């Protein structure tokens, strides 16, 4: 493979000003759009020797047939133009944002003669003010039901409103106390507009003023002995407090912010947006991101923020709290201020306090969302069938691998060596057939792989289970042969696994190694890896297998390590389970305990200098 690209511009041809660049293929299709404060400096990264580039970047630049750029006047202009072109060209190598669902909003149609409060999933109603999004439709309806008790505004349809105003008869919702608009014949259009303004102000976060005023009116009415009016104010106050109770207080009343929790891996990212107004969570939104190139967390944050606020009339708060500041944070803040239309917007991270605690909650939700996203993909039968078919085609197998076994090795600096075997059948995990292996001695990971597979393959010739009734014998579960055997690693691990297969006489099992970054599958006796298409179902399946094998191996290795060190310490006179727990809790890990001096061990409560010397000596004579 040539180390340089034929379409590479001369360094002097590329300007040093801010701008936006586009990679195109031979058919002039735009493959990737990016921005830069200094075009020459940024583009030089793509034209480094191909062997030094990340696999996905290398695939993009070798697919491209040319690069072009457009110089702009400022970094903010570059930001805006990049986003415009991404939307226009939909480049395959740019990050893809996929919203999980269409969220319900509470909308107030301020553009109408008599504004109406309604539930909608349409974010483009002319003149409407939106609140939310809400995670569930019933949450919006509950909020409206409570709010119209305190702020009786119109809820009926436009046709009902028009008919009522023409006939002079109240609309049906107004007759049963469910609509407080002019169509109920109880208020004028002007009076209704003032109530609507109060409704919007309350929902915007000015809730303390209304609860305070309602409380004062209730007390005044009670002093005047107007108990009927006092009861009315009491009911409205209870409705307002019920709405507030649905939004947990997380910050000061003055806080107006959006928090973004992000969790991502090599292929996907999950985003959780918490909408905080007046110190309370007013809405939650989540979506997933497909990653084509290997982008940093900062670049991912930038794309998330731009996607969240790109729609016309987007509700941009004063603060945007993100897990990591993007490189162009200042330019993004300027763009957000333009979107907001008033005041400054701060893009920041949360280091401590209530905002940091809420960010942890958002990130936890993002982790769960990413896990759910992967699980749903693998749970769908059609998706699993496609994944298995794609693996079959990619590896040149005669049939789809209905049973796949994946192996991983784990150790701690060469000690406590263990391995895991996980089994997927029809694209789903069979946890009852997982196996754990302990390895007494090994020279390296390749030797460990060889030992484990030799032991596993020896069981393929086991006799059927004779405990079954006559004529109904079934093979033992461990004796089922896989159609595909995967090992975690590249060419060296594959060669070791191939040696075990050959010595066992099993030439009917397809073998492949999963490279570290998941873009590559190595086959025996092959100088080039198999590259699965990005975001393909096959790649998601392979990723799940690798992650599950790694998780299972790590958990077993930790169990062994904990049991091992506990048993060793338990042999020391005067060290019981309580002191073992204290020692491990104080140092946090076995490695730190082993590295500690006798003086450091003696600082643990309940461990004196003499016992510390004994523990230190015992740990270093094993």
**pLDDT value at residue 320:** 92
Q: Which residues contact 551 (CB under 8 A, 6 or more apart)?
A: none
Report the DSSP beta bridge partners of residue 539.
none
C-alpha angle 544/548/552, rounded to 5°?
175
Q: Among 136-140, 232-236, 381-385, 439-443, which is the least confidently predicted range?
A: 136-140
**pLDDT value at residue 570:** 61
Residue 552 DSSP SS3: helix
Which of 528, 557, 586 is at the close of a domain? 557
Mean predicted confidence (pLDDT) in 25-53: 86
CA distance linking residue 545 with residue 130, whole number of Å? 43
Asked if the model's pLDDT at residue 593 lies above 70, the reply is yes
Which of 211, 245, 279 is at the close of a domain? 245
CATH code for the domain in which residue 418 is found: 3.30.420.340
474 part of a folded domain:
no
Asked if the model's pLDDT at residue 206 lies above 70, the reply is no
16 part of a folded domain:
yes
Mean predicted confidence (pLDDT) in 174-202: 87
Mean predicted confidence (pLDDT) in 337-348: 87
How long a stretch of residues is the chain?
Answer: 622
**Same domain, yes or no, for 433 and 532?**
yes
CATH code for the domain in which residue 578 is found: 1.10.150.20
Question: 534 to each of 92, 266, 378, how far by Cα in Å?
Answer: 10, 10, 16
Residue 126 DSSP SS3: coil
CA distance linking residue 430 with residue 600, whole number of Å? 46
The full DSSP string for 348-375 is: E---SHHHHHHHHHHHHHHHHHHHHHHH
Q: What percent of the chain has pLDDT over 90?
A: 7
**Same domain, yes or no, for 283 and 320?**
yes
CA distance linking residue 326 with residue 9, whole number of Å? 28
pLDDT tens digits for 537-557?
A: 788 888 888 888 888 888 887
More confident residue, 337 or 209: 337
Question: 220 to each of 195, 217, 235, 580, 615, how far by Cα in Å?
Answer: 21, 5, 15, 66, 75
More confident residue, 311 or 367: 367
**pLDDT value at residue 474:** 43
Residue 211 structure tokens: 């609860």
565 part of a folded domain:
no
Total domains present in the chain: 5
CA distance linking residue 409 with residue 444, whole number of Å? 10
Q: Where are the alpha helices (DSSP H) in 65-185?
A: 75-89, 137-150, 158-167, 172-175
CA distance linking residue 121 with residue 113, whole number of Å? 22
CA distance linking residue 225 with residue 83, whole number of Å? 63
More confident residue, 209 or 363: 363
Mean predicted confidence (pLDDT) in 24-41: 88
Q: How far apart are the first and last CA of the chain?
A: 51
**Same domain, yes or no, for 87 and 148?**
no
> Quick one: which of 427, 431, 429, 430 has its CA closest to 382?
427
CA distance linking residue 601 with residue 595, whole number of Å? 10
* Mean predicted lDDT score pLDDT of the chain: 80
What order of strands is seen across the sheet that includes strand 30-36? 30-36, 19-24, 66-71
Q: Among 30-34, 81-85, 474-478, 614-618, which is the least confidently predicted range?
A: 474-478
Asked if the model's pLDDT at residue 597 lies above 70, the reply is yes
Contact 342, 333 (CB under 8 A): no
**Same domain, yes or no, for 296 and 411?**
no
Domain that holds residue 498: 381-461+479-557
Q: Half-sphere exposure of residue 575, counting CA atoms within 13 Å on the CB side?
A: 27
Which of 245, 276, 305 is at the close of a domain? 245
CATH code for the domain in which residue 61 is found: 3.40.1440.10
Residue 14 structure tokens: 């590329």
**pLDDT value at residue 426:** 85
Q: Is residue 392 within a helix (H) or strand (E), and if so which, with residue range?
A: helix 381-395
357 part of a folded domain:
yes
**pLDDT value at residue 245:** 52
**Same domain, yes or no, for 148 and 235?**
yes
CA distance linking residue 547 with residue 268, whole number of Å? 14
Asked if the model's pLDDT at residue 100 lies above 50, the reply is no
């Amino acid at each position: 493979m040539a180390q340089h690209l034929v379409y590479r511009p001369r360094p002097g041809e590329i300007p040093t000003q801010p701008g936006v660049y586009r990679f195109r293929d031979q058919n002039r299709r735009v493959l990737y759009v990016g921005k830069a404060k200094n075009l020459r400096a940024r583009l030089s990264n793509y034209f480094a020797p191909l062997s030094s580039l990340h696999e996905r970047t290398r695939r993009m630049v070798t697919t491209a047939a040319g690069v072009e750029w457009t110089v702009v006047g400022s970094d903010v202009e570059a930001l805006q133009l990049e986003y415009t072109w991404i939307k226009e060209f939909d480049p395959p190598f740019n990050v893809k944002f996929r919203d999980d669902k269409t969220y319900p909003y509470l909308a107030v149609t301020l553009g109408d003669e008599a504004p109406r409060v309604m539930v909608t999933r349409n974010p483009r109603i002319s003149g409407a003010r939106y609140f939310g999004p809400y995670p569930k439709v019933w949450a919006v309806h509950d909020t409206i039901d409570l709010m119209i008790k305190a702020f009786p505004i119109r809820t009926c349809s436009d046709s009902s409103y028009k008919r009522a105003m023409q006939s002079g008869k109240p609309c049906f919702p107004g007759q049963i106390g469910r609509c407080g608009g002019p169509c109920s014949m109880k208020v004028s259009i002007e009076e209704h507009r003032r109530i609507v303004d109060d409704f919007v102000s309350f929902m915007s976060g000015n809730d303390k003023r209304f609860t305070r005023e309602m409380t004062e009116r209730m007390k005044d009415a009670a002093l005047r002995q107007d108990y009927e009016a006092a009861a009315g104010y009491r009911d409205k106050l209870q409705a307002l407090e019920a709405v507030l109770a649905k939004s947990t207080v997380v910050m000061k009343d003055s806080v107006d912010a959006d928090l973004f929790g992000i969790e991502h891996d090599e292929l996907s990212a999950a985003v959780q947006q918490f909408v905080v107004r007046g110190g309370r969570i007013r809405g939650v939104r989540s979506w997933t991101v497909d990653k084509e190139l290997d982008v940093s967390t900062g670049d991912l944050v930038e794309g998330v923020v731009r996607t969240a606020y790109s729609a016309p009339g987007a509700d941009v708060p004063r603060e945007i709290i993100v897990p990591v500041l993007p490189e162009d944070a200042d330019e993004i803040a300027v763009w957000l201020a333009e979107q907001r239309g008033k005041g400054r917007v701060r893009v920041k991270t949360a280091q401590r306090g209530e905002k940091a605690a809420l960010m942890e909650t958002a990130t936890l939700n993002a982790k769960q969302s990413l896990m759910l996203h992967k699980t749903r993909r693998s749970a769908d039968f059609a998706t699993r069938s496609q994944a298995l078919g794609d693996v079959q085609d990619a590896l040149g197998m005669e049939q789809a691998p209905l049973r796949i076994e994946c192996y991983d090795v784990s150790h701690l600096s060469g000690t406590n060596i263990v391995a895991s075997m996980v089994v997927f059948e029809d694209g789903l995990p069979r946890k009852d057939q997982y196996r754990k292996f302990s390895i007494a001695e090994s020279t390296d990971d390749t030797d460990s792989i060889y030992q484990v597979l030799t032991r596993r393959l020896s069981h393929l010739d086991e006799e059927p289970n004779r405990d079954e009734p006559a004529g109904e014998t079934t093979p033992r579960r461990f004796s089922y042969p896989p159609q595909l055997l995967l090992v975690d690693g590249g060419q060296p691990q594959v060669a070791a696994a191939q040696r075990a297969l050959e010595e066992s006489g099993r030439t009917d099992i397809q073998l492949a190694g999963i490279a570290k970054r998941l873009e590559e599958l190595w086959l025996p006796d092959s100088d080039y890896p198999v590259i699965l298409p990005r975001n393909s179902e096959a790649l998601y399946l392979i990723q799940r297998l690798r992650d599950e094998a790694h998780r299972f191996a790590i958990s077993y290795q930790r169990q062994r390590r904990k049991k091992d060190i506990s048993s060793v310490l338990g042999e020391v006179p005067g060290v019981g389970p309580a002191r073992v727990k204290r020692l491990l809790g104080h140092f946090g890990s076995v490695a730190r305990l082993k590295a500690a001096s006798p003086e450091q061990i003696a600082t643990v409560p309940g461990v004196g200098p003499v016992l510390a010397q004994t523990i230190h000596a015992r740990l270093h004579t094993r």
